[in-house]
Amino acid sequence: MKLSDRALEYRFWQDAVYEKDWKNALDFLIESLRDELVFDNLAIYIIDENGKRSEIAYARAIGREKNAEADASWGEEIADKVMLKNEIVFDSPSEEESSSKRVANPYLAGMPLMASGKLIGILSLIRFGGPVYTQEDISVALLAAVVIAYIFEKRALQESIIALEKVQRQMRLQDDFVSTISHELRTPLGFIKGYSTTLLRDDTEWDEETRREFLTIIDEEADHLTGLIENILESARLQSQTFDMNFQPLRLDVLVRDIITRVHARYENFEIVFTNYSEKIIQGDNTRLAQVFENLFSNTVKYAPKSKIEISIKNEDGNLLKVSFSDSGAGISEEHLPFIFDRFYRVPDQPKKAGTGLGLFISKRIIEAHHGKIWAESDAKKGTRFIILLPTEQNN
């Protein structure tokens, strides 16, 4: 019987090929492989897209020298030889070497992991103190290598599907964005055009008060338009990673207090409770951080109208400032919460409000540029809480 036919009689690979999770699949495979093949340690290396051997992808120590799992670097040399020759490689010590220093002189075997005719990784096997690998052992190991290559191909496929789904989601959001943004741009333009045409009419005289009122609307709508366009341009710029920051020492509590004064000037009836427990200094970009808080306030106006806002700033372990910004609005449902910081994302089941889905995306990027973190917690009916962590200057 040919060795390849003989190999097909083995059944150790069956559980592995039906298992979805790649790590479990490898665990199943290695467990049952041990019934057919003697080895003490096993390591799998994957070749990255640049053709380089990457970190160890999987290692198991089964035999007598169990401690060798952590120290899987023994497999690297043989793996490199396999990469060079693109074929099975054996490294066997002389009998004398092996019997005198078993652990220092193991029997090594390296198998190429091939998928679609390409070397995608290496399987390295180790035996302390032999015996030498037989033809039968090799055919079993080769079959194991085929199954392992299949498992890693499947993993790559699963990863591509996840990446693709993300792109699809992004494209859907982008489509929604185009219709949202055309509406968002048209509304202020409509006001500007309407009021200026009215003012320019030859057949009507406007009193000073009305003229001022119309011009104020035009002025505000032009500002609105500018803000909108800036957001769009900024988010496009952020896609290519450029972000100009002007870091200076600043007090976050002072910045927040300033914004609260401005918010109060615009929305008189807004109840804002600010509790400050920290006057620590941070390194920050004043304008950018103000943008983050202004967006949080404007979101509360839109999505949690009439709700009370509670803000607190506290010192947190590890030289951090923790800002908590909560409203008592309708909240964000669990299924949408993970996505609200994505570009263009808008929670679909909320009453329609003006917006582009860019504010939180930009805010997150600003906080990350400060080496901080921002996330949201929400309890249906209890409102939404945004948390921001920012590093403080050491020793203050």
CA angle 269, 270, 273 (to 5 degrees): 130
327 binds ligand ADP (CB under 6 A): yes
Of 204 and 239, nearer to ligand ADP (C-beta) is 239
139 binds ligand ADP (CB under 6 A): no
Among 355, 377, 382, 389, binds ligand ADP (CB under 6 A): 355
Query: Which whole-number Å values give the CA distances from 161 to 53, 164, 175, in the listed order?
Result: 24, 5, 21
Per-residue binder mask for ligand ADP (CB under 6 A), 358-387, x = binder: xxxx----------------------x---
Residues 6 or more apart whose Cβ sits within 8 Å of residue 339: 345
81 binds ligand ADP (CB under 6 A): no
Residue linked to tokens 């709700």: 307
Residues 6 or more apart whose Cβ sits within 8 Å of residue 311: 256, 260, 272, 273, 274, 275, 323, 324, 325, 326
Per-residue binder mask for ligand ADP (CB under 6 A), 286-325, x = binder: ---------x---xx-xxx---------------------
Of 40 and 184, nearer to ligand ADP (C-beta) is 184
Q: How many CB atoms lie within 10 A of CB 21?
A: 12
The answer to whether the peptide bond before residue 131 is cis (omega within 30 degrees of 0) is yes
Among 53, 350, 377, 387, binds ligand ADP (CB under 6 A): 350
Residue 236's closest CA among 290, 196, 289, 177?
177
Q: Which two tokens stand for residue 309?
A: 């806002």
Nearest-approach distance from CB 337 to ligand ADP, in angstroms: 9
Among 106, 121, 188, 329, binds ligand ADP (CB under 6 A): 329
- How many residues bind ligand ADP (CB under 6 A)? The answer is 22
The residues that touch ligand ADP, with contacts defined as CB under 6 A, are 295, 299-300, 302-304, 327, 329, 332, 340, 345-347, 350, 355-361, 384
